[in-house]
Amino acid sequence: MPTKLSQKVVATALLPGVLLWSLALWGSVLLGTSTAQEPAEKRLAREANSNSLIREHRKAIVLSNSSSWSGWPADRAFDENPKTSWFTARGDAAALGTKPWIAAEFPADVTVKRITLLSNREPPWETGYTILVGRLELLDGDGVVLFSRDDELGGERADMDVRLKAPLAKVRKIRFTSLRDEGDQNPYDDIAIGEILVE
Ligand SMILES: [Ca+2]
């Protein structure tokens, strides 16, 4: 049976903790941050990639790809609209034995901090065209690979967000290759990427 005194002691001891928690909560509201678990989609939207490098050089960037579906060229992965996609031509899919790729070459060396790839969500073809595992490569002006990472894109995680440990200088070209995809799970035997953002 606790005495009145011990109850008061407990209440006093708890008070600073409650105060700190309240302050942290209001701080997170004011700063627009949250420590709570939130869906990846929401988090990505909040911490959106500024796409500053593509924006700055867009007109001079040379896009290329292994193939494209007529009317769905590589440009659609660089138009800042997540609901428009680049689609490969029929039969160009890792699931069907090829290595589909898309690349953007800058007119000059750039310093890259972050690349974000958004998986396909173009209606009405939202499902069955996703790249599940891809290889992101950053190359210099001589074609030397400066950075390479194989990662998931789609499936459990809708998007691939690569933040480099340190800004990487002398990058001239960005290339993304599908290593595993859903090319055998749709009627058109192709795959797609919604957007590639670079800052
Ligand atoms: Ca797009």
DSSP E strand boundaries for 13-121: 62-65, 86-87, 101-119
**Tens digits of per-residue pLDDT, 50-85?**
999 999 999 999 999 999 999 999 999 999 999 999
Tell me, in angstroms, the distance from the centre of ligand 1 to residue 81's CA.
Answer: 4
Backbone angles phi, psi at 85, to 5 degrees: -130, 155
Interval between CA 78 and ligand 1 midpoint (Å): 6
User: Residue 153: what pLDDT?
Assistant: 78
112 C-alpha to ligand 1 centroid (Å): 20
CATH classification code of 40-198: 2.60.120.260
**Are the C-beta atoms of residues 66 and 101 closer than 8 Å to each other?**
yes
For residue 131, is pLDDT > 50?
yes
pLDDT, tens digit (0-9, with 9 covering 90-100), for 136-147: 999 999 999 999
Across residues 161-183, what is the average pLDDT? Answer: 97
Ligand 1 centre distance from Cα of residue 198 (Å): 13
Quote the ligand 1 centre to 197 CA distance (angstroms).
10
Per-residue confidence (pLDDT) for residue 45, from 0 to 100: 58
pTM: 0.77
Confidence of residue 158 (pLDDT cuts 50, 70, 90): confident
Residue ranges with CB less than 5 Å from ion ligand 1: 76, 79, 81, 84, 195
Return d(Cα 102, Cα 93) in angstroms, integer. 12
Other beta carbons within 10 angstroms of residue 148's beta carbon come to 12
Decide which of 47 and 135 is more confident.
135
- What are the pLDDT digits (tens) for 43-52? 655 689 999 9
CA of 164 to the centre of ligand 1 (A): 23
Instruction: Supply the DSSP string of 89-119, one letter for each residue.
Output: PTT-SGGGT---EEEEEEEEEEEEEEEEEEE
Give the percent of the chain with pLDDT over 90.
71
Share of the chain above pLDDT 70, in %: 75
75 Cα–ligand 1 center, Å? 8
Q: Ligand 1 centroid to 2 CA: how many Å? A: 64
Domain map of the chain by residue range?
A: 1-36, 40-198
Q: How far is the CA of 51 from the centre of ligand 1 (A)?
A: 13
pLDDT digits (tens, 9 = 90+) for 3-44: 434 443 444 444 444 444 444 444 444 444 444 566 656 665
Identify the weakest region by mean pLDDT among 34-48, 106-120, 126-140, 183-197: 34-48
